[in-house]
């Protein structure tokens, strides 16, 4: 692509500056100076951030590059993320501060002071220990957005177990694969979750998954929705029963962890095959997530911060659970759908709880925008100071609506670009930085990001290239669980010589150094901000007895960003029908989950393939969108 002033002029001309009162009081008032300072001594910069946290033992070395790309941070340091997220707060006045305010979809409410949350975590930590969970063991958590999900994650971390949280929108096969890969013997789930006025029967789905991955020996079940569920004697236990036992003492020794000991595995989609278990560790992750949240969302003690993501995705791990607690913030979490019972549910809660910071995804903004301005206008949203966006590029139209109707042209929007792999914000504004709608602006201090061509030359302004990170950062993924080769191959082989991290996104920089993320370059689709792999959906389809071959693509959609289109070739002798199409969709829902269900599923006689037999998804996508098919010289249909 050639740079044209034209294609860039409209967006670069449109600048927004945060209001004086917001930018002047921000932690970072001079981004350029801080960025420059950080790049002169990246290790020194991160060491200074790490010093604001507690360590059982200080590190000897900030960064060890000797086994690159297996970088190590804060080597020799001893800590535990829960030491910083809870233990240290209960020794101060913060014990009385609200850590978490929660509202269920039916309208029930709960609040947790730091003291109460700490006690619940201690109790559940003891329960897990009592069930034989030891340091390094993997625990699978599959729940809706309830406080017990957060308690379970923190309890694992506290006793040194490694949590693997599976988003509540996934189903049987997706769960079974993840349990199997993590070799997890204990699972925490709930009877159900409320969504759009209905119950999602999580325990039923979990039972099916465990049937397929019988490695699970113990299932702990939180009672949330109360409908009868199957409890298998000797395997399944009610959470509330266990929490009432004498072993569930409110005092629990925090496991002393090495900075580089694993904290969690989070499965995400990649280019091929099965989901990969992204591994994060205690030390670097706690430093990076808390620093980024502090500087970008400018967290104050008086804030009421709402990250509306799901804890089952990285956004929730980093910015609902760990970073806000490390900073001693007050967080808000809501269980259900934004439109339940009416499209003003979010705005009603912003008003009722006096939310000051709202962090959500473009798909949610677009979804709510559709219902018009009247719903938010019925509510007093003046408590909002900062807004945030994550998950996919935000289109300028949604940006402007969010800025005007929700933020009343007063609250700047922090459009944060990052990934499961990066652990925290990488390219992001801060409250004192000039904004351009649709741009994630510039890299966070300490982050050496660039857009480069195939050879690794920096692309000139306006030219599309590959987004890379040229220097390690503390919360970078350490490996893909049990697959270090794939880790090297996937992220570090493209620019092996330079030692750069390949993000997998295409991007452009403009003449002001602002980054414009274009989107994924691989077979990853962002549906409503959720990350899905075409390969996982394809193998879900092929697992149906009627399907011989399947191809899945993402097609742009106004509200959801992308939707899934699927093309199936049937096995010889199987007759295609409307009914079969419905059955196949249902099969995907059952195997992978509702978010993966194709919007359109077509039964076809053949698929566009290269001469070597690879499906040309690019051609399918062009056809679906009615665009020219481009270079089809390698096509053999």
Instruction: Identify which of 28, 17, 21, 22 has the alpha carbon closest to the alpha carbon of residue 434.
Output: 17
Which H/E stretch holds residue 524? strand 524-527
Ordered DSSP codes for 344-369: THHHHHHHHHT--EEEE-HHHHHHHH
Nearer to ligand WTA, 140 or 269 (CB): 269
Residue 416 interacts with ligand WTA (CB under 6 A): yes or no: yes
Q: Can you tell me which of 274, 304, 486, 526 binds ligand WTA, judged by CB under 6 A?
A: 526
Residue 562 interacts with ligand WTA (CB under 6 A): yes or no: no
Q: Which residue has the tokens 């509306």?
A: 308
C-alpha angle 518/529/339, rounded to 5°?
A: 135
Instruction: Identify which of 383, 338, 410, 572 has the alpha carbon closest to the alpha carbon of residue 23.
Output: 410
DSSP state of 610: B
SS3 580: helix
CB of 166 to ligand WTA, least distance (A): 14
Nearer to ligand WTA, 427 or 603 (CB): 427
Q: Distance between CA 536 and CA 529 in Å, rounded?
A: 17
Q: What is the phi/psi pair of residue 46, to 5°?
A: -70, -35
Per-position x/- string for 350-389, each x denoting binding to ligand WTA as judged by CB under 6 A, each - no binding: ---------------------------------------x
For β-strands 600-603 and 561-570, DSSP reports them as parallel
Residue 393 interacts with ligand WTA (CB under 6 A): yes or no: yes
CB of 131 to ligand WTA, least distance (A): 31
Ordered DSSP codes for 361-397: -HHHHHHHHTT-SHHHHTS--TT--EEEEESSPPPHH
Q: Is 442 exposed, middle or buried (0-12, 13-18, 19+ CB in 10 A)?
A: buried
Q: Can you tell me which of 268, 356, 363, 562 binds ligand WTA, judged by CB under 6 A?
A: 268
Q: Can you tell me which of 308, 517, 546, 569 binds ligand WTA, judged by CB under 6 A?
A: 517
Nearer to ligand WTA, 447 or 603 (CB): 447
Per-position x/- string for 422-461, each x denoting binding to ligand WTA as judged by CB under 6 A, each - no binding: ------------------x---------------------
Residue 335 interacts with ligand WTA (CB under 6 A): yes or no: no
Which H/E stretch holds residue 49? helix 42-50
> Could you tell me what percentage of the chain is helix, strand and coil, using 3-state DSSP and rounding each to the nearest 5?
35, 25, 45
What six digits make up the tokens of 186? Answer: 């204990």
What six digits make up the tokens of 69? Answer: 């790309």
Residue 261 interacts with ligand WTA (CB under 6 A): yes or no: no
Q: How many residues bind ligand WTA (CB under 6 A)?
A: 24
Which part of the chain contacts ligand WTA (CB under 6 A), choosing from 107-115, 141-149, 235-243, 418-426? 418-426
Beta-carbon contacts of 60 under 8 Å, excluding residues fewer than 6 positions away, are: 75, 76, 77
Evaluate whether 326 touches 289 at the Cβ level (below 8 Å). yes
Residue 417 interacts with ligand WTA (CB under 6 A): yes or no: yes
Nearer to ligand WTA, 80 or 315 (CB): 315
For residue 341, whether the previous peptide bond is cis, meaning omega lies within 30 degrees of 0, is yes
- In this structure, the number of other CB atoms found within 10 A of the CB of residue 419 comes to 17
Residue 415 interacts with ligand WTA (CB under 6 A): yes or no: yes
Residue 315 interacts with ligand WTA (CB under 6 A): yes or no: yes
Q: Distance between CA 119 and CA 378 in Å, rounded?
A: 39
- Which parts of 182-241 interact with ligand WTA (CB under 6 A)? none
Which part of the chain contacts ligand WTA (CB under 6 A), choosing from 141-149, 307-315, 482-490, 598-606? 307-315
Nearer to ligand WTA, 333 or 603 (CB): 333
Q: Can you tell me which of 343, 391, 424, 465 binds ligand WTA, judged by CB under 6 A?
A: 391
Residue 166 interacts with ligand WTA (CB under 6 A): yes or no: no
Residue 339 interacts with ligand WTA (CB under 6 A): yes or no: no
Ordered DSSP codes for 102-151: EE-TTS-EEEEEHHHHHHHHHHHHHHHHHTT--TT-EEEEE--SSHHHHH
Q: Can you tell me which of 418, 473, 491, 500 binds ligand WTA, judged by CB under 6 A?
A: 418
Which part of the chain contacts ligand WTA (CB under 6 A), choosing from 132-140, 238-246, 515-523, 532-540? 515-523
CB of 313 to ligand WTA, least distance (A): 6
SS3 462: coil
Evaluate whether 11 touches 438 at the Cβ level (below 8 Å). yes
Per-position x/- string for 4-43, each x denoting binding to ligand WTA as judged by CB under 6 A, each - no binding: ----------------------------------------
Which part of the chain contacts ligand WTA (CB under 6 A), choosing from 56-64, 132-140, 340-348, 417-425? 417-425
Q: Which residue has the tokens 């259900």?
A: 336
Nearer to ligand WTA, 331 or 393 (CB): 393
Per-position x/- string for 576-615, each x denoting binding to ligand WTA as judged by CB under 6 A, each - no binding: ----------------------------------------
Per-position x/- string for 475-514, each x denoting binding to ligand WTA as judged by CB under 6 A, each - no binding: ----------------------------xxx---------
Q: Can you tell me which of 344, 420, 479, 562 binds ligand WTA, judged by CB under 6 A?
A: 420
Residue 258 interacts with ligand WTA (CB under 6 A): yes or no: no
The binding site for ligand WTA (CB under 6 A) comprises 268, 313-315, 389-393, 415-420, 440, 503-505, 517, 519-520, 526, 531
């Amino acid at each position: 692509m050639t740079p044209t002033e034209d294609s860039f002029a409209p967006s670069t001309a449109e600048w927004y500056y945060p209001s004086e009162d917001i930018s002047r009081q921000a932690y970072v008032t001079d981004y350029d100076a801080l960025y420059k300072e950080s790049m002169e001594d990246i290790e020194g910069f991160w060491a200074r951030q790490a010093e604001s946290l507690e360590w059982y033992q200080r590190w000897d070395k900030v960064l060890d590059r000797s086994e690159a790309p297996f970088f190590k941070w804060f080597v020799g340091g001893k800590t535990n993320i829960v030491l910083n997220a809870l233990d240290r707060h209960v020794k101060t006045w913060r014990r009385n501060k609200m850590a978490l305010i929660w509202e269920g979809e039916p309208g029930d409410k709960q609040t947790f002071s730091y003291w109460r949350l700490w006690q619940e975590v201690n109790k559940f930590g003891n329960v897990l220990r009592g069930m034989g969970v030891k340091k390094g063991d993997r625990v699978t958590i599959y729940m809706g957005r309830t406080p017990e999900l957060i308690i379970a994650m923190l309890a694992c971390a506290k006793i040194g177990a490694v949590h693997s949280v599976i988003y509540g929108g996934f189903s049987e096969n997706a769960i079974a694969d993840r349990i199997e890969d993590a070799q997890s013997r204990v699972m925490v789930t709930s009877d159900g979750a409320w969504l759009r006025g209905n119950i999602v029967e999580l325990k039923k789905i979990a039972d099916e998954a465990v049937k397929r991955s019988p490695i699970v020996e113990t299932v702990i079940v939180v009672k949330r929705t109360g409908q009868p569920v199957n409890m298998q004697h000797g395997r399944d236990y009610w959470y509330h029963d266990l929490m009432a036992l004498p072993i569930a003492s409110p005092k629990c020794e925090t496991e002393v962890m090495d900075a580089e000991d694993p904290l969690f595995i989070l499965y995400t989609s990649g280019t091929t095959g099965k989901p990969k278990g992204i591994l994060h560790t205690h030390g670097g992750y706690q430093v990076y997530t808390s620093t980024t949240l502090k500087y970008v969302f400018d967290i104050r003690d008086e804030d009421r911060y709402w990250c509306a993501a799901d804890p089952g995705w990285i956004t929730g791990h980093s910015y609902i659970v760990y970073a806000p607690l490390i900073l001693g913030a007050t967080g808000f979490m809501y269980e259900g759908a934004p439109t339940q019972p009416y499209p003003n549910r979010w705005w009603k809660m912003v008003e009722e709880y006096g939310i000051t910071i709202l962090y959500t995804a473009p798909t949610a903004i677009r979804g709510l925008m559709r219902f018009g301005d009247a719903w938010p206008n019925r509510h007093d949203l003046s408590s909002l100071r900062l807004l945030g966006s994550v998950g996919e590029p935000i289109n300028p139209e949604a940006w402007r609506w969010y800025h005007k109707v929700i933020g009343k042209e007063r609250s700047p929007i922090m459009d944060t670009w990052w990934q499961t792999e990066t652990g925290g914000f990488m390219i992001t504004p801060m409250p004192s930085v000039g904004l351009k709608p649709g741009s994630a602006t510039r890299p966070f201090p300490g982050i050496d990001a660039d857009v480069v061509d195939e050879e690794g030359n920096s692309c000139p302004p306006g030219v599309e290239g590959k987004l890379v990170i040229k220097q390690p950062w503390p919360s970078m993924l350490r490996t893909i669980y049990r697959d270090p080769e794939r880790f090297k191959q996937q992220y570090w082989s493209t620019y092996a010589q330079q030692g750069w991290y390949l993000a997998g996104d295409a991007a452009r920089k403009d003449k002001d150094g602002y980054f414009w993320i274009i989107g994924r370059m691989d077979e990853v689709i962002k549906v409503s901000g959720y990350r899905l792999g075409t390969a996982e959906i394809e193998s879900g389809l092929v697992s149906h007895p009627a399907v011989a071959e399947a191809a899945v693509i993402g097609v742009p959609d106004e509200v959801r960003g992308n939707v899934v289109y699927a093309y199936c070739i049937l096995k010889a002798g199987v007759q295609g029908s409307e009914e079969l199409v419905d059955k196949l969709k249902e099969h995907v829902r059952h195997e992978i989950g509702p978010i993966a269900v194709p919007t359109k599923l077509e039964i076809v006689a053949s698929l566009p393939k290269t001469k070597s037999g690879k499906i040309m998804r690019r051609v399918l996508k062009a056809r679906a969108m009615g665009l020219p098919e481009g270079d089809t010289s390698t096509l053999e249909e």
